[in-house]
Structure 1
Amino acid sequence: MMLFFVVGLLVHIVFFASIFDIYFTSPLVHGMTPQFTPLPPPARRLVLIIADGLRADTLHEFDEDGNPRAPFIRNVVMQEGSWGVSHTRVPTESRPGHVAVIAGFYEDVSAVAKGWKENPVEFDSLFNESRYTWSWGSPDILSMFAKGATGNHVFTYSYDADSEDFGAEDISKLDTWVFDHVKEFFHAARNNQSLYSQLNEEKVVFFLHLLGLDTNGHAHRPASREYKDNIKMVDEGVKELVSLFKEFYGNDEKTAFIFTSDHGMTDWGSHGAGHPSETFTPFVAWGAGIKSPQRVAAQRFNDTLLKEWKLEHYKRQDINQADVAPLMASLIGVPFPLNSVGVLPVGYLNSTGAFRAESMFTNAVQILEQFKVKMSQKKEVTLPFLFTPFKLLSDSKQFDILRKARSHIKQREFDEAVLLCKELIDLALKGLSYYHTYDRFFLGTNVLLGFVGWASYASLLTIKSHSGLTRGAGKPVKKPGCLLPCGFVAVGILMAFFLLVQACPWTYYVYCLLPVPIWYAVAREYQVIQDFVTALLTLPPSRLVGYLLACTLGIEVLVLSFFYRHMLTVGLLVFAGWPFITPLWTRAKSISLSWIFFCLLLAVFPLMPVVGREPDVFLVEC
């Protein structure tokens, strides 16, 4: 029996590990050619400000006195630039959020657990493509992008990790540190000719990571005075920063500014899930190459935010978080990050039609390059007669769309070219997803076979050991011949050869070969299966149908519990009544009472409020 438990533990570890290979694999591919817009960019430099943990609604709302909580940012929205909501993806954590903004792609979920200070995978980013990048902020965030950059052109200035103290009285000092050191940096640059020359080159990026809001949100909650005061401090800091850049560069109007966040935060002070308070982050852009505010009569969105923020007549342009990377690359004329899957939001660009069309064309070619590499990699490791290409984007289709888009650009039909490029991007992204999940059905089927096989084997052992099924005393027990093990060995060899030919990773061997010994063990218990089926067939039809309905209902309750957790209470209440319909109640009342008590106790938990999105003072004392 101990061997059975050990094997069962190992089998379930394999099942758990398979989740990461099936669903959480890195989307990155390598070997693409860098793509950049051939026309002169509108900006020489870009300032990226990420307020970690800032919610869109808290930034744009009014305070208790009816005044804007962030007056400078609001003035930018109404007088200088363009704005919208940046929609993040789960997991709404700092690492994947910053990677989406700066590198333009969404990391697989498992990357969150692979460390902050080291990159679990190599990826390209806006910083890597820039001529110089200077960054200030948290050491956890800055080191991610400095380590992955080629050459010595990404410079970081960070405070000590011990400064990130959730129990500190004034956590906003983290943001004050950033603004103060940026001022000192530019002041020192006036007396450093080498640094001054570098700062005046083109394709330069300045990155400010502001961690105070995230830390205050965790420590005091987003509705707290500390969090809201931190927003005002950040707003004032951004205002002074803009003045600093205008003064240093002689108001040359060649600086583009981006203000956004990596993720939001629930009222409870948590993040990581997909609630709108976590996925709705602010996005405000202004300066060189960015459109001025666009007045509109009415806008249609599936929320009431515009009315709450009193911005109904200022055009709101929502984007996906990964779309920020191609926008920034386009503004300063650097190659789009190689792994970016963002779609350039051309509505933000204040440039010629030719520049918008060329930028969109570059975006399409850059994503198409990833599609081609992904397809090539999958084709190389798949047997020719088994390879199924993505039919919606054949080679001829790619060539036709690119040819038509280029023709429209030459004929100065820029809007038509942009639409064609968006169509190509949409198809290429679908193709990327297709090849990224190409093996998912194959792996999932094998894991399912293993899981069903193990459940069947465990059930057969239970029936064999604890049921009342008995064979006749004079009935001989047939022993399996050599044909059965030889057959399963042959299946295992064929599967291993199939995986070897396709150069599959070693984990595939585990998932695909595990069902073979499991189902062999099931097949060895064919006599138990035969006895069990015989016993079922001897039952009265009404009783047999009742058992089948009870099993079906139990499975349905389990499925519904994924969507309605209160269904778990229903199932536990049914379990609590089980001793009354069996001889257990008369034979062992103490055990039956214990069973009923613990079932009823567990049934209470699904009815309790969820901790995380809304604070419940009756459940937890803050």
Structure 2
Amino acid sequence: MRGGDGILGVRSSARSPEANSPKIRTQFLGRREKWLVILGVALHAIYMLSIFDIYFKTPIVHGMEPVTPRFSAPAKRLVLLVADGLRADKFFEPDSNGSYRAPFLRSVIKERGRWGVSHARPPTESRPGHVSIIAGFYEDPSAVTKGWKANPVEFDSVFNRSRHTFAFGSPDIIPIFCGALEHSTWNSYPHEYEDFATDASFLDEWSLDQFEGLLNRSKEDVKLKQLLQQDNLVVFLHLLGCDSNGHAHRPYSTIYLNNVRVVDQIAERVYNLVQNYFKDNSTAFVFTADHGMSDKGSHGDGHPSNTDTPLVAWGAGVRPPVRTFENHHHENTVRFVDDHVHDMPTPADWGLNGFERQDVNQADIAPLMSTLVGLPCPVNSVGNLPLGFVNLSKPFKPLNDYSFVLDQIEHLISISDYEAAKMLSENLRSLALEGLHYFQTYDWFQLMTVISLGYLGWMVYLMVHVLQEYTSLPRKFFQNDQSVYLQTNTKKIYFLGCLLMGLVCVILLVEHSPPLYHAYFAMTIFLWVRIFREYRFLRALWSYMLGKEIRYFAKLLAKLLASFIVSVFVLEILVKSFMDRKIYTWIFLIIGVFASVYLQYSMPWGSGLPVFVWLACWFLSIFTLMPAEIPDNTKLVVSSGFMIVIIGVASRYLDMYSRESKFWLSLTHEVQKSKSNIIFLFQVLLVAFSAVMVPLSTYRRTEKQELLVLHQVINWSIAGISIVLPLFSPTGLLSRLTSIFLGFAPAFLLLSIGYEAVFYGALALALMAWILFENAYLHISQTSKSSSSTSAMEDDLILESNERCLRLSDMRIPLAFMVFFNIAFFGTGNFASIASFEISSVYRFITIFNPFLMAALLIFKLLIPFMLVVCTFTAITKMVKVPLLGCYFLVIICSDIMTVHFFFLVRNTGSWMEIGNSISHFGIMSAQVVFVLLLFAVTTLYTKHIQIRSSKRHSRKHM
């Protein structure tokens, strides 16, 4: 409730006498702020989807008929082997003894087939990779919103065109492509088989056993045997072992490297089974991988370790090896719409420089398979047929359009000028891909303009709300002009808004625009209508500034410009930090020096507090110099547990013995010692116990043993109990924040694998430095104002019983929050990269593959540092007595300034890593409004009862 000379009191009294009621005032504020939050969530959700319409539209194929090949199929059947998560270098390179891990497939490369590197495109995940291999196109990134499980746009595939498809493998892949396919026979193992604590190569053996069992059953099943003798058949074996072992043990581990040998043996056994069963030499074989694996055991981004996968093809229709007599490197000259050219020389230790290499884009594998088995190319395919792989007497022509160019091609074919026909076909294909790119970006300017105006309108509307509800401006305006908050006639504004929206809707309907286009325009128009509705307030603001003396006006304008420039400068540095996280090292080195120098004005160096702030900031600056790929270091995690205990004990000591110090006055609170001591000791014991459980749980995994049920129960219990305990801790600022810090520490330790556990303690120390700085700033400002004139107190109007109006200098709090919030993003890795999630950190809680629970644990670990930042931010607003929601809205404005910048940095050209990172940067910032809101809702449980201690000497009554 806001009373007295509060903002709402001014507005309500101007509108109606009845509005002075406290009940009415409280309900009004609640409704408006809830409305703003809902509007913000909806706006960011809708606008975040706009990048898919602007940059990455997937064409929906209507009425396009498949093109039947005009040649006899060289193969009756195709065997596709996909080793999930197999890196190209680990497949081709020798081991430490100089022996190659895939002797059979190397013999294929040298004696009967072709080889190369298949270049995947981000996101390098299993579902998009298999879509690219089997369907020949790069899936719409919006498929991630459905968890890579459902098709956002139905597409054609090699499996669809086959007479029958036999598929065996993972339950996460096989049902996606064969679950609704009537002409298919498939099976998958249960999810429980995917245990990261064991060697997962047995999953590959399972797929082989299923295929072998199929051939054995056909000896007694006449119908099955007849089906197997047909043409246009596809056999698909999904081999998940390398992916699971890469996640659990890393791609340089013995288990992963041995799994490479296993898939090579499976390829040999499949080849022998097929040759012995069919005996017609009419089978084509393709061996590849959907994506690779980074050194840290993850994938998803555009790093070569994730995009470079092996490709080996042999059998019917495949060209034999081509020998080269010099260090020859075949550059992949086939480009996709991003004009990306792969140029990775063949390493000498692969031992394959004497055999011609044919690199392909991953989408090129689909037309290759279709050609080999004589199937129409999938109609969604954007792949190019890699002619270096096929051995045909006639050129392949997947064209079916009657145009002048095609007539020329037909003529060239009729006169047997195949080379000229091939060149003309490639030119036409390039034009078709350029047309596809044009279609994908057709509405670029229109949508960019609308979305940009929408973001600008949202920020202006939010700023108007902050000025109206959380500053002293309304009182000053009301004194000069009582018509500022009179109920205005907004019917004309709404009528013009509806008229404009109706006109836009008609135009969009005529152009057959998607429904989301209507949402983009409607949101933008609605926001600007709401802004024009506040024209009386904006007019009063302008008149207020112009009505001041020139000296005062110049001073006010200078303050506004300085605040704006500093804010934008800080936010632009944060934007740059998404590309180079080492920027935070310089930020905290500089902050440490300036903050400690500032503190000496209220806290002498002899107190040790300026030195503490200096060292805390410098300690935190170390972590953004460390590698994003966190190395395993169990001893460091255990040591971090005891460091956390020491920090908690030191904080507890200060809380108990520094109550009367002017430096700690606002941070301490009277507590019931017996109760608080028991809770504190229990929390310390849980942190120490979790540090002990870290090596015990890790030992089981390193020994390739299942995690004991007892260990799982203990770990879950420690994490769960410790999170609840802060709710019962004392309500003093320092007491409650210390309890929150200790409460989340056990869960964070159990989810840590290396130096990120140290980062948790370093972040807490830096947050304490922030609190000390704000405490000193409060002390200095109160001392300076006590000697100033009473007119200078106008800005301290009471909003609520414990709050004052926001001032321009309070902008430092949202900016500091943005810095700490982003260091929580990047302090232990590159959160903006898809591949930064360290899945091995969940193995102390669960080892059986469960994507939803594992993802939940990963997200929870990443949220813990953010929760510390948000709890500290909330406590500081209470200590400084500024409105939390007002500061929250300023945080959202800062976030949206960065969001707009990232919106213009989204790319659909260049390297695939650049494309993926630009999307993730925009997505992270756009979702931050919802993300921060959810964190505030959760942390309110811990911070709503925090009480700030004050004395008569350090407080003054607001008038």
> What's the TM-score once normalised by structure 1's chain length?
0.84
In structure 1, the partner of 2:74 is 42
The 5 A counterparts of 1:187-206 are 187-206=216-235
In structure 1, the partner of 2:745 is none
In structure 1, the partner of 2:202 is 173
Shift of 1:239: 0.9
Q: CA–CA distance in 1 between the matches of 2:822 and 2:455? A: 27
Shift of 1:308: 3.5
Correspondent of 1:443 among 436, 443, 447: 447
SS of aligned partner of 1:347: coil
- Residues 57 and 305, structure 1, Cα contact 8 Å, conserved in 2: no
- Residues 128 and 148, structure 2, Cα contact 8 Å, conserved in 1: no
SS of aligned partner of 1:462: helix
| Residue 166 to residue 552, structure 1, CA distance change in 2 (3 Å) | closer
In structure 2, the partner of 1:226 is 255
Shift of 1:613: 6.5
Shift of 1:345: 0.8
In structure 2, the partner of 1:51 is 83
The 5 A counterparts of 1:354-503 are 355-356=394-395, 359=396, 361-362=397-398, 364-365=399-400, 399-467=403-471, 469=473, 470-471=476-477, 473-475=479-481, 477=483, 483-503=492-512
Partner letter of residue 273 of structure 1?
A: D
Shift of 1:525: 2.8
Partner letter of residue 179 of structure 2?
A: K
In structure 2, the partner of 1:384 is none
SS of aligned partner of 1:341: coil
| Residue 69 to residue 513, structure 1, CA distance change in 2 (3 Å) | same
Q: In the alignment, does 2:348 pair up with 1:307?
A: yes
In structure 2, the partner of 1:235 is 264
In structure 2, the partner of 1:76 is 108
1:61-102 per-residue CA deviation (whole Å, 9 max, x = no partner) reads 111110001111111112221111111111111111111111
Q: CA–CA distance in 1 between the matches of 2:408 and 2:31? A: 66
In structure 2, the partner of 1:12 is 40
In structure 2, the partner of 1:285 is 313
Q: CA–CA distance in 1 between the matches of 2:575 and 2:239? A: 43
| Residue 588 to residue 107, structure 1, CA distance change in 2 (3 Å) | farther
In structure 2, the partner of 1:216 is 245
Partner letter of residue 311 of structure 1?
A: L
- Residues 91 and 274, structure 1, Cα contact 8 Å, conserved in 2: yes
Shift of 1:11: 2.6
Larger Rg: 2
- Residues 567 and 815, structure 2, Cα contact 8 Å, conserved in 1: no
In structure 1, the partner of 2:62 is 30
Partner letter of residue 48 of structure 2?
A: I
- Residues 84 and 316, structure 1, Cα contact 8 Å, conserved in 2: yes
Q: 5+ residue gaps in structure 1?
A: 369-397
Partner letter of residue 335 of structure 1?
A: P
- Residues 173 and 212, structure 1, Cα contact 8 Å, conserved in 2: yes
In structure 1, the partner of 2:554 is 539
| Residue 430 to residue 595, structure 1, CA distance change in 2 (3 Å) | closer
1:530-587 per-residue CA deviation (whole Å, 9 max, x = no partner) reads 454563882158667645643553453243233223445666766986989x975623
| Residue 334 to residue 405, structure 1, CA distance change in 2 (3 Å) | same
Q: CA–CA distance in 2 between the matches of 1:567 and 1:526? A: 41
In structure 2, the partner of 1:92 is 124
Q: CA–CA distance in 2 between the matches of 1:456 and 1:601? A: 25
Shift of 1:472: 7.8
The 5 A counterparts of 1:100-139 are 100-114=132-146, 119-139=151-171
SS of aligned partner of 1:197: helix
Q: CA–CA distance in 1 between the matches of 2:210 and 2:356? A: 35
- Residues 127 and 205, structure 1, Cα contact 8 Å, conserved in 2: yes
Partner letter of residue 156 of structure 1?
A: W
In structure 1, the partner of 2:790 is none
SS of aligned partner of 1:455: helix
Q: CA–CA distance in 2 between the matches of 1:491 and 1:179? A: 63
Partner letter of residue 477 of structure 1?
A: S
Q: CA–CA distance in 1 between the matches of 2:814 and 2:480? A: 40
SS of aligned partner of 1:426: helix
Q: CA–CA distance in 1 between the matches of 2:164 and 2:823? A: 58
Which one has a larger percent helix, Structure 1 or Structure 2?
Answer: 2
Q: 5+ residue gaps in structure 2?
A: 1-28, 332-342, 599-772, 784-802, 804-809, 845-959
- Residues 488 and 520, structure 1, Cα contact 8 Å, conserved in 2: yes
In structure 1, the partner of 2:566 is 550
- Residues 216 and 222, structure 1, Cα contact 8 Å, conserved in 2: yes
| Residue 19 to residue 325, structure 1, CA distance change in 2 (3 Å) | same
- Residues 569 and 604, structure 1, Cα contact 8 Å, conserved in 2: no
Structure with larger RCO (C-alpha < 8 A, sep 6+): 1
SS of aligned partner of 2:117: strand
Q: CA–CA distance in 1 between the matches of 2:530 and 2:433? A: 44
In structure 2, the partner of 1:587 is 781
In structure 2, the partner of 1:520 is 529
Partner letter of residue 316 of structure 2?
A: A
CA RMSD between the two structures: 3.6
Q: CA–CA distance in 2 between the matches of 1:83 and 1:154? A: 29
1:88-147 per-residue CA deviation (whole Å, 9 max, x = no partner) reads 111111111111111111211232342566545432211111112211212332212223
| Residue 286 to residue 549, structure 1, CA distance change in 2 (3 Å) | same
Identity rate of aligned residues, in percent? 37
In structure 2, the partner of 1:274 is 302
Q: CA–CA distance in 2 between the matches of 1:571 and 1:462? A: 29
Shift of 1:501: 3.5
| Residue 407 to residue 70, structure 1, CA distance change in 2 (3 Å) | same
Partner letter of residue 247 of structure 2?
A: H
| Residue 485 to residue 202, structure 1, CA distance change in 2 (3 Å) | closer
Shift of 1:17: 3.4
Q: CA–CA distance in 2 between the matches of 1:349 and 1:312? A: 21
| Residue 427 to residue 3, structure 1, CA distance change in 2 (3 Å) | farther
| Residue 601 to residue 326, structure 1, CA distance change in 2 (3 Å) | closer
| Residue 620 to residue 215, structure 1, CA distance change in 2 (3 Å) | closer
Shift of 1:230: 1.1
Shift of 1:267: 1.1
- Residues 81 and 287, structure 2, Cα contact 8 Å, conserved in 1: yes
